[in-house]
Amino acid sequence: MEGFIKIKNLIKKYQLNNGKGLVAVNNVNLDIEQGDIYGIMGLSGAGKSTLIRLLNRLEEPTSGEILVKQEIVDKKNNTITGYENKNILKFNMKMLREYRKKTGMIFQHFNLLNSRNVAENVAFPLEISKWKKKDIEKRVDELLEIVGLSDKKQNYPEQLSGGQKQRVAIARALANNPKILLSDEATSALDPRTTNSILELLKDINKKFGITIILITHQMEVIKKICNKTAIMSDGQIIEKGETKEIFLNPKTDLAKEFVGNISHEEFRTEEEKKQREENNGKLRLRLKYNEDQVNESYITKIIRKYDVEVNILSGFIDKVGDIIVGNLLIEISASEEKAKDIIEWLKENKIDSEVL
């Protein structure tokens, strides 16, 4: 299904005490489909938290639209007769309350109520929704079963590990059968193994209940593990977005390249692609030096197009030797031996100094 959540030209400006303005979210456009696990990645201060808080109006935007697909219900028969996109920024308090019920949220520090035990924490949103006591008990049991904490019903938050606390928070977020789950750095306070188990749980919930998940993180590992789509945020703007696989295999911006750089992404390749890489007899590693006239020429793009190969740039810098500008690039090419020879020959023809490492 398309266009479940459409974020259009969204802007959030803060007025600072010194009188200056700060644009935390700067003209963001995103199209999130139903069933997506959409990851928003960025460095500290990029605007991720602000963006996610705008999605349930914990923050009010300065301008823009957030369109969310809503059911049109025939109240007489209580049947769904169709769907329409509604701008949640135009919702009155009653509509907003209904929307928030269907939009769960989890946080880095869990935000549990310490005076309530596990069952009472999970029951909390149901009490607010005025469920009957009997129904609450049944639903709480269901939810604790989903998150694997049935045996901790009577425990208090202080008796739980970080991972268990996050499971309680997830159960609570799911209580009203939400359609959307917002996750604000939900695994940032957890160790790697617990992180994995929470990510597995989120993936399960997404599959089983068809809940669309929007998660923000500063960990590319999190994106890689569960997100089918990714947006990279910098200085309030989305600078790159698309299928996670595409971003891992062909990052376009320097920031995305940096995020992806240190992480192996072999699993994004198909079996056929993997086999082909094996047949390629490994990789050719070259150090290229080129002069001022050649600096602006995109030789890497030319090599990729001409020889249909994959090139990884391992490092690169432009140096000034006296008045002469010298480019220095370390690259790795996945190519058969034959192709590798052709590439070296082609570099020679183009007077690019190459050294096989």
Stretch that binds ligand ATP, among 37-45, 72-80, 242-250, 327-335 (CB under 6 A): 37-45
Return the residue matching tokens 């005490």. Answer: 17
Helix axes 118-128, 162-174, angle to 10 degrees: 20
Tokens describing residue 49: 């938290």
Intra-chain end-to-end CA distance of the chain, in Å: 49
Residues from 320 through 339 that contact ligand ATP (CB under 6 A):
none
Taking the complex as a whole, the smallest distance from the CB of residue 125 to ligand ATP amounts, in Å, to 25
> Is there a contact between 66 and 214 (Cβ–Cβ < 8 Å)?
no
Which C-beta is closer to ligand ATP: that of 49 or that of 354? Answer: 49
Q: Is the dihedral of CA 325, 326, 328, 333 positive or negative?
A: positive
Question: Interface with ligand ATP includes 17 (CB under 6 A)?
Answer: no
Tokens describing residue 11: 């802007």
Q: Which of 2, 20, 44, 315 binds ligand ATP (CB under 6 A)?
A: 44
Q: In whole angstroms, what is the distance from residue 108 CA to residue 340 CA?
A: 48
Tokens describing residue 46: 């990029």
Q: In whole angstroms, what is the distance from residue 83 CA to residue 90 CA?
A: 17
SS3 content of the chain, % helix, strand, coil (to 5): 40, 30, 30
What's the DSSP call for residue 125?
H
Q: Which of 42, 64, 178, 251 binds ligand ATP (CB under 6 A)?
A: 42
> Is there a contact between 344 and 293 (Cβ–Cβ < 8 Å)?
no
Which C-beta is closer to ligand ATP: that of 146 or that of 247? Answer: 247
Question: What's the distance, CA 65 to chain centroid?
Answer: 21
Taking the complex as a whole, the smallest distance from the CB of residue 43 to ligand ATP amounts, in Å, to 7
Taking the complex as a whole, the smallest distance from the CB of residue 60 to ligand ATP amounts, in Å, to 11
Q: In whole angstroms, what is the distance from residue 21 CA to residue 197 CA?
A: 41
Q: Which of 101, 153, 218, 287 binds ligand ATP (CB under 6 A)?
A: 218
List Cβ neighbours of 177 (8 Å cut-off, separation of 6 or more): 102, 209
Which C-beta is closer to ligand ATP: that of 42 or that of 64? Answer: 42
Taking the complex as a whole, the smallest distance from the CB of residue 242 to ligand ATP amounts, in Å, to 20
Which C-beta is closer to ligand ATP: that of 44 or that of 81? Answer: 44
Q: Which of 28, 38, 48, 329 binds ligand ATP (CB under 6 A)?
A: 48
What's the DSSP call for residue 16?
P
Binding mask 106-145 for ligand ATP (x = CB under 6 A): ----------------------------------------
Which C-beta is closer to ligand ATP: that of 66 or that of 171? Answer: 66
Q: What is the largest CA-CA distance in the chain?
A: 83
Q: Which of 3, 14, 79, 301 binds ligand ATP (CB under 6 A)?
A: 14
Q: In whole angstroms, what is the distance from residue 338 CA to residue 268 CA?
A: 26
Taking the complex as a whole, the smallest distance from the CB of residue 188 to ligand ATP amounts, in Å, to 8
Which C-beta is closer to ligand ATP: that of 188 or that of 291? Answer: 188
Q: In whole angstroms, what is the distance from residue 283 CA to residue 139 CA?
A: 55
Which C-beta is closer to ligand ATP: that of 143 or that of 255? Answer: 255
Size, binding site for ligand ATP by CB under 6 A: 13
What's the DSSP call for residue 166?
H
Question: Interface with ligand ATP includes 22 (CB under 6 A)?
Answer: yes
Tokens describing residue 332: 């790795």
Which C-beta is closer to ligand ATP: that of 15 or that of 177? Answer: 15
Which C-beta is closer to ligand ATP: that of 25 or that of 143? Answer: 25
Q: Which of 32, 41, 47, 55 binds ligand ATP (CB under 6 A)?
A: 47
Question: Interface with ligand ATP includes 148 (CB under 6 A)?
Answer: no
Chain residues binding ligand ATP by CB under 6 A are 14, 16, 22, 24, 42, 44-50, 218
